[in-house]
Chain A
Amino acid sequence: MKKNVVWWPAIVHKENAHKYGDYNYFEYTRKSWEYWCERNDVLFVPFTEPVEDDLFRFRPNWQKIIFVFDELDRLGIEYDQIFLADSSCMIKWDAPNIFELTDRKFVGWNDKDNMRWIYDSIQGYKSFFDGFELDQYSYISSGVIIFNETHREVIEGFKKLYLDNIDKFIDLQDNIVKKGTEQTPFNYWLQINKVELNLDLPTAFKLTHMHRKELFSHNWQDGDDKTPFFIKYGYNWVFNGIPKDDRSNLIKQTWDLVGNNYNMDTAKHDKILDEMLHKDTAKYTTSRKLKSDILKEFGNDKYKDKTIVEIGASQGHSTRMLSHIFKRVIAVEWDDWNLEQARNNNSDRDNVEFVKMDLYYDRWEDHLPDDVDVVFIDAGHEYHQVKMDIENSLKRFNNPILVFDDYGLPPGEVKKAIDEKIEDGVLKFHKFIGEKSEDLISQSGTKFFDMEGCICNFG
């Protein structure tokens, strides 16, 4: 199946290594893209071995574009859209999936950073391109572009242009124009060939020359938040336009600030988890860790056609997470206000049904179907309530898996009810989930004394 691809050129040019701080920054920018790709189901394709070894005649910046289709073919990759992102780019962990914004056009961003440099470069190559009048307001950075198979012909044409004129181009870039490598010729080629450009995507995806834009700054006038603006408001941080030997240091400093957000173990689920609140900001819901553990345990093919009942949906944050795993989610809640919030928080989910019932007075068979595979129990927290939830679940449903929240909640009634059923052999303990007690504070402000949750009767 075709996948969107991030094409990440990172060829080490040993002769220039000293200029680029030994390319140490590759380590960090690469990790950022690997995480983002995993999270967005995008294929990460690093371009680290040159097609042509002569890096004087074939500079990495030329190779990254003229050989892109050859390399994807050689690797047997079935690509859909291709995002060429230079190795000096670091993507923010939760940047939106840019492939959904392209209209399937050739995407670029008009470069207005150093307009003099661009103007001079355009003038320098003008005679080579027979005096073509290039529109500087459509001039794009070649280090951040998106294209697809429909652009193959024009890019292959660009390769031919280079191969036919290689000595001339080297002379222009090294001796005559001295303003960049392939970027300006590529802009001429795109405009001469009338390639339809989409220049309207948010600038946040191309934050070049950040020092010039003063984006390394933070709100130094008010409050304690020292997070630099580029991290807060940007999506793709391009560390260019700065002295090249500073790049590694700046990127490492950035990684030290934000690297903890790029956890490959949770990458696949982080996008889902960002859709809802967690215990750190909303005490009434479960922690991010508990939701993540449930996603890890159940987020596979085995459960995608199954039904779950959530006993005690509260405001529907866990409900939303469950809706990404199961075919059908039946969320039970008694309180009208909570129900309204839960409905709002899941208004765009089409597999969630809400049931208003009193779990301890109403008959379960009057409100809930019997073909339920998993029960998530997070309702009353008194001993007799939890006991009733377990007994009713086992009575109403056919050998369901039971997932419990608030196992270690003080004063311990949830734990007591579960432990008793385990001791009696009614439940079979599988594993603990969620946060450890030391990281948990209950809604009433008291500390947990045991794990946040557990799973029983699994498998």
Chain B
Amino acid sequence: MKDLVFIIAVKKDGQLKKEYEYSIKSWEYWCKKNDVELFLMEEPVTDMNDMHIIWQRYFLFDMLDHNEIEYNQILMVDADTIIHPDCPNFFNETDDKYCLIHDDGSYDWILRGMEHYKKYVFNDEWFDFWEYGNSGFQIVNKKHRPFFDKMREFYFEHKDIIQQIQSNWGIGTDQTPLNFMLRKHDIDINLMSYKYNMTCMPKKEILGDDHLYTKLGWIYHFNGIPDKNVNVPLLMEKSYNYLYGNLDD
């Protein structure tokens, strides 16, 4: 049984975003090199107006069953990431736990989100912000399947308020509720090193033409970037070419 990488790659108007193609190509390379399966979610499970596509990743285990795919551990990773071709096999560092990476970006965004969900959804429950994980990199295994069921149940039970919070306050989709739910259901979490999910790189001043970030870690998450519709495709293309240009040749 292989480990597996899962990426949402649903096309919009028949077209996959250009930057996602770079992401997927980098992951294809790494998976092949490390004998890991790559699974692309190319079709939504349900109507995206009813459930944002990001929330649909919690159908993961059902999708894999439906496609008769055997698996060991699974990384669910966002499509705005690029992995270094020499990235070590992080599946060996999980301790079989639910793995996330602390989100060390904008605490204004994170704490506003935590306060909104605390007040409107989670009955004043709270947890320490320094243990808040980014949902763009989650490693799970079979024992987490019941938790994924809980995540979907939670979504459908609270759909209206979740959609209201998402649209009114722009504080993301599943990430903050996921963090609350993990605590609520006592899931054992392993917060892995930032080098495996390098979020908000501009804040750390490492995202430049010298590609310094490639010397400081392995998986580059192109979020927290100003003017993202213009900059993210450009930066990911540059990053891909820098890391894989010679390899492709």
A202 / chain B contacts, CB cutoff of 8 Å: 128, 130
A interface footprint on B89-130 (CB within 8 Å = 1, 0 otherwise) = 000000000000000101111011001100100000000111
- Asked whether A214 lies within 8 Å of B109 as measured between CB atoms, the reply is yes
Which secondary structure characterizes the binding site on chain A? loop
Select which of B108, B194, B208 is within 8 A of A229 by beta carbon.
B108
CA distance A204 to B131 in the complex (A): 11
User: Does B203 reach chain A (CB closer than 8 Å)?
Assistant: yes
Q: A219-B112, A221-B112 are in contact. Are A114 and B216 (CB under 8 A)?
A: no
CA distance A219 to B116 in the complex (A): 9
B194 / chain A contacts, CB cutoff of 8 Å: 112, 137
Q: A136-B216, A233-B129 are in contact. Are A112 and B204 (CB under 8 A)?
A: yes
**Which 10 residue pairs of A and B lie closest in terms of their CB atoms, listed nearest first?**
A214-B108, A217-B108, A203-B130, A116-B205, A115-B204, A213-B107, A214-B106, A229-B111, A115-B206, A219-B115
Select which of B108, B109, B116 is within 8 A of A222 by beta carbon.
B116
B238 / chain A contacts, CB cutoff of 8 Å: none
In the complex, residue of chain A having the shortest beta-carbon distance to the beta carbon of B208: A116
In the complex, residue of chain B having the shortest beta-carbon distance to the beta carbon of A206: B130
Kindly list 18 other residue pairs between chains A and B, CB separation below 8 angstroms, not including A114-B204, A220-B112: A112-B194, A112-B204, A116-B208, A117-B205, A119-B216, A204-B130, A213-B106, A214-B108, A214-B109, A217-B111, A219-B112, A219-B116, A221-B112, A221-B168, A222-B112, A222-B169, A223-B119, A229-B108
CA distance A221 to B165 in the complex (A): 11
Q: A115-B216, A119-B216, A222-B115 are in contact. Are A137 and B195 (CB under 8 A)?
A: yes
- Asked whether A204 lies within 8 Å of B215 as measured between CB atoms, the reply is no
CA distance A312 to B116 in the complex (A): 40
In the complex, residue of chain B having the shortest beta-carbon distance to the beta carbon of A117: B205
A interface footprint on B169-189 (CB within 8 Å = 1, 0 otherwise) = 100000000000000000000
Smallest beta-carbon distance A107→chain B, Å: 15
- Asked whether A112 lies within 8 Å of B108 as measured between CB atoms, the reply is no
Q: Which residues of B contact A (CB under 8 A)?
A: 104, 106-109, 111-112, 115-116, 119, 128-130, 168-169, 193-195, 203-206, 208, 212, 215-216
B interface footprint on A89-118 (CB within 8 Å = 1, 0 otherwise) = 000000000000000000000001111110
CA distance A220 to B170 in the complex (A): 13
CA distance A202 to B129 in the complex (A): 9
In the complex, residue of chain B having the shortest beta-carbon distance to the beta carbon of A201: B130
Q: A214-B108, A217-B108 are in contact. Are A116 and B193 (CB under 8 A)?
A: no
B205 / chain A contacts, CB cutoff of 8 Å: 114-117
- Asked whether A112 lies within 8 Å of B111 as measured between CB atoms, the reply is no
In the complex, residue of chain A having the shortest beta-carbon distance to the beta carbon of B126: A233
User: Does A349 reach chain B (CB closer than 8 Å)?
Assistant: no
CA distance A152 to B104 in the complex (A): 33
B interface footprint on A208-233 (CB within 8 Å = 1, 0 otherwise) = 00001111010111110000010011
- Asked whether A116 lies within 8 Å of B206 as measured between CB atoms, the reply is yes
Smallest beta-carbon distance B66→chain A, Å: 39
- Asked whether B111 lies within 8 Å of A219 as measured between CB atoms, the reply is yes
A213 / chain B contacts, CB cutoff of 8 Å: 104, 106-107, 203
Smallest beta-carbon distance B215→chain A, Å: 7
B104, B115, B168: which has the most chain A beta carbons within 10 Å?
Answer: B115
Smallest beta-carbon distance A126→chain B, Å: 13
In the complex, residue of chain B having the shortest beta-carbon distance to the beta carbon of A113: B204
Smallest beta-carbon distance A238→chain B, Å: 14
CA distance A229 to B109 in the complex (A): 11
Smallest beta-carbon distance B168→chain A, Å: 8
- Asked whether B116 lies within 8 Å of A116 as measured between CB atoms, the reply is no
B107, B128, B204: which has the most chain A beta carbons within 10 Å?
Answer: B107
B108 / chain A contacts, CB cutoff of 8 Å: 214-215, 217, 229
- Asked whether A116 lies within 8 Å of B112 as measured between CB atoms, the reply is no
Q: A203-B130, A212-B203 are in contact. Are A116 and B212 (CB under 8 A)?
A: yes
CA distance A447 to B231 in the complex (A): 63
Select which of B106, B111, B116, B168 is within 8 A of A233 by beta carbon.
B111
A137, A220, A232, A233: which has the most chain B beta carbons within 10 Å?
Answer: A233
CA distance A214 to B168 in the complex (A): 20
CA distance A31 to B249 in the complex (A): 64
B193 / chain A contacts, CB cutoff of 8 Å: 137
CB within 8 Å of B: which of A110-136? 112-117, 119, 136
A115 / chain B contacts, CB cutoff of 8 Å: 204-206, 212, 216
B108, B193, B195, B212: which has the most chain A beta carbons within 10 Å?
Answer: B108
Q: A112-B104, A119-B212 are in contact. Are A204 and B128 (CB under 8 A)?
A: yes
